[in-house]
């Protein structure tokens, strides 16, 4: 069953404000992203339903626009929440993307948000804006299972750091989204909630592991969601569902309250990041959730520059579509990259075909290092949560075959060598543009070869990597392009993503 698209043409760009400004001065943060639009106007369809009363298209508004309208009292927080809940109720029976709802609490929080505004209290940057969260991210008082049987029905007593920061900024949680067990998988299915479908074609996958996140955002259920990414788990759903998102620089965002902990040297590869329909919303949300919480000891406080301050004219762009036949992209994927580069030509300083060295080697070594314990980390995690039966693809990772200390040490040394080689190569460029995936979303149950070949290397080297929709497959499925920057330069990534979004139109609504 395939859904065709209809365009609402809703676009914005980055904000350039830091997290403290957002949390402390939401009114001042206002609609910086919308102001930076420079001619990117919302489509008539989206505007037609956005007035008082919460019309039929209110759920499609970006978070930045919705927050601005709430501050101006053009829409109430209650209307915004109700509009998103109605949309979720309309589409979720087909998608199975939102797997735990907290609608009563959300409506109560929206009512209180409207009352605070009426009293003239200071408003956060996301005041009254609905959101959802991947079911691996703790939310106080709302069931959070990690989609493993041992946590079925588990209610956390405390918010994850990122959850708390978003709520402090005024966002209102409406529910939790589906993920593979322990976030391990390139498609979204588990023994707790079952399978999630792609809103553009219900017979196809939404990707993983943040598949529920990508599907519900693309379908207009919420303006944004938080996912997590260890090997492409934010970027894959962005690609397959046609939304924007980012894996931040490793150690940018605290994982405190993310229930999947790989421990030790592998834990730093996982990053939490936002998925949204516009680049400006991704930019806004990252600035709210980033920064040390004094609990996740890996996280470093590094300032993030303003996206609006990035000068495209000075950027040296490297691009690639394949590396010695390793990625094997389909023709439409290569054509998409070439179209994007054609649009960037003349807007940037230079465009050079070049790829980071040792990508296939780096991915192979990374996979060997992760498997060196024979899946013991999975067994420990399952034991911690009381899970006795694992999903088959997760169970398959428990091999019992372990490496010796000398073998493992050699793998770590090789990883460091490759990181250094790639860092030296990157000195000649400011940004990389490449595919997110070799093809559009496959059918449920179909082979998914090389599913992470374009993405996993950026978990190894830790560089920030974002995705924005830039094309459509012959099957009518969204296709995203990947933009990678130097460590801590998400501002550059966002600037290039916004330029691509402007030229291609970005997200397009599915006809579901």
Residues labelled catalytic: 134, 209, 233
Q: Is the link from the previous residue into 168 a cis peptide, with omega within 30 of 0? A: no
Q: Is 65 helix (H, G, I), strand (E, B) or coil?
A: helix
Closest-CA residue to 207 (of 223, 229, 176, 174)? 229
Q: Is 176 helix (H, G, I), strand (E, B) or coil?
A: strand
Q: Which residues lie closer than 8 Å to 131 by C-beta, 6 or more apart? A: 63, 166, 171, 172, 173, 174, 222, 223, 224, 225, 226
Q: Which residues lie closer than 8 Å to 103 by C-beta, 6 or more apart? A: 85, 174, 175
Contact 147, 193 (CB under 8 A): yes
H-helix or E-strand containing 237? helix 235-241
Contact 122, 27 (CB under 8 A): yes
Residue 66, CB-side half-sphere exposure with 13 Å CA sphere? 38
List, as one string, the DSSP characters of 346-399.
TTSSEEEE---TTHHHHHHHHHHHHTTTTTHHHHHHHHHHT--S--HHHHTT--
Q: Which residues lie closer than 8 Å to 151 by C-beta, 6 or more apart? A: 144, 145, 259, 385, 386, 387
Q: Which residues lie closer than 8 Å to 362 by C-beta, 6 or more apart? A: 415, 418, 422, 457, 460, 461
Contact 167, 188 (CB under 8 A): no
d(CA 120, CA 136): 36
């Amino acid at each position: 069953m395939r859904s065709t698209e209809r365009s609402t043409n809703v676009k914005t760009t980055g904000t350039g404000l830091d997290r403290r400004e957002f949390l402390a001065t939401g009114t001042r943060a206002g609609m910086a992203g919308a102001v930076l639009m420079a001619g990117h106007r919302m489509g008539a369809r989206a505007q037609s339903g956005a007035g008082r009363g919460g019309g039929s298209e209110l759920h499609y508004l970006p978070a930045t626009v919705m927050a601005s309208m709430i501050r101006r009292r053009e829409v109430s927080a209650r209307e915004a929440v109700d509009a998103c809940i109605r949309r979720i109720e309309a589409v979720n029976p087909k998608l199975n993307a939102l797997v735990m709802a907290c609608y009563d609490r959300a409506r109560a929080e929206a009512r209180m948000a409207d009352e605070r505004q009426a009293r003239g209290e200071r408003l956060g940057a996301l005041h009254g804006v609905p959101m959802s969260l991947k079911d691996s991210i703790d939310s106080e008082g709302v069931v959070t299972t990690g989609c493993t049987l041992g946590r079925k029905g588990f209610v956390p007593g405390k918010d994850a750091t990122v959850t708390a920061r978003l709520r402090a900024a005024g966002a209102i949680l409406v529910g939790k989204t589906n993920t593979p067990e322990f976030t391990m998988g390139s498609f979204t299915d588990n023994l707790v909630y079952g399978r999630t479908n792609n809103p553009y074609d219900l017979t196809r996958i939404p990707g993983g592991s943040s598949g529920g996140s990508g599907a519900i955002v693309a379908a207009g259920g919420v303006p944004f969601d938080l996912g997590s990414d260890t090997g492409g788990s934010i970027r894959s759903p962005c690609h397959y569902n046609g939304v924007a998102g980012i894996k931040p620089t490793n150690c940018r965002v605290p994982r405190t309250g993310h229930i999947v902990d790989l421990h030790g040297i592998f834990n730093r590869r996982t990053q939490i990041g936002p998925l949204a329909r516009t680049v400006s919303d991704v930019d806004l949300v990252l600035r709210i959730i980033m920064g040390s919480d004094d609990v996740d000891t890996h996280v470093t406080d590094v300032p993030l520059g303003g996206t609006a301050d990035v000068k495209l004219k000075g950027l040296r762009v490297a691009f690639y579509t394949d590396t010695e036949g390793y990625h094997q992209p389909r023709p439409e994927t290569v054509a998409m990259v070439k179209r994007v580069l054609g649009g960037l030509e003349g807007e940037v300083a230079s465009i050079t075909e070049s790829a980071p060295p040792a990508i296939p080697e780096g991915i192979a070594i990374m996979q060997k290092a992760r498997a060196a314990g024979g899946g013991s980390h999975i067994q420990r995690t399952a034991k911690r949560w009381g899970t006795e039966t694992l999903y088959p693809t997760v169970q398959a990772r428990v091999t019992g075959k372990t490496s010796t200390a000398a073998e493992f040490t050699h793998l770590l040394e090789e990883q460091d060598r490759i990181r250094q080689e790639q860092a030296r190569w990157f000195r000649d460029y400011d940004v990389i543009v490449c595919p997110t995936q070799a093809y559009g979303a496959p059918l449920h149950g179909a082979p998914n070869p090389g599913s992470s070949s374009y993405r996993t290397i950026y978990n190894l080297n830790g560089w920030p990597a974002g995705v924005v929709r830039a094309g459509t497959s012959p099957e009518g499925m969204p296709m995203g392009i990947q933009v990678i920057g130097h460590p801590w330069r998400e501002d550059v990534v966002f600037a290039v993503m916004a330029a691509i979004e402007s030229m291609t139109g970005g997200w397009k609504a599915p006809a579901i």
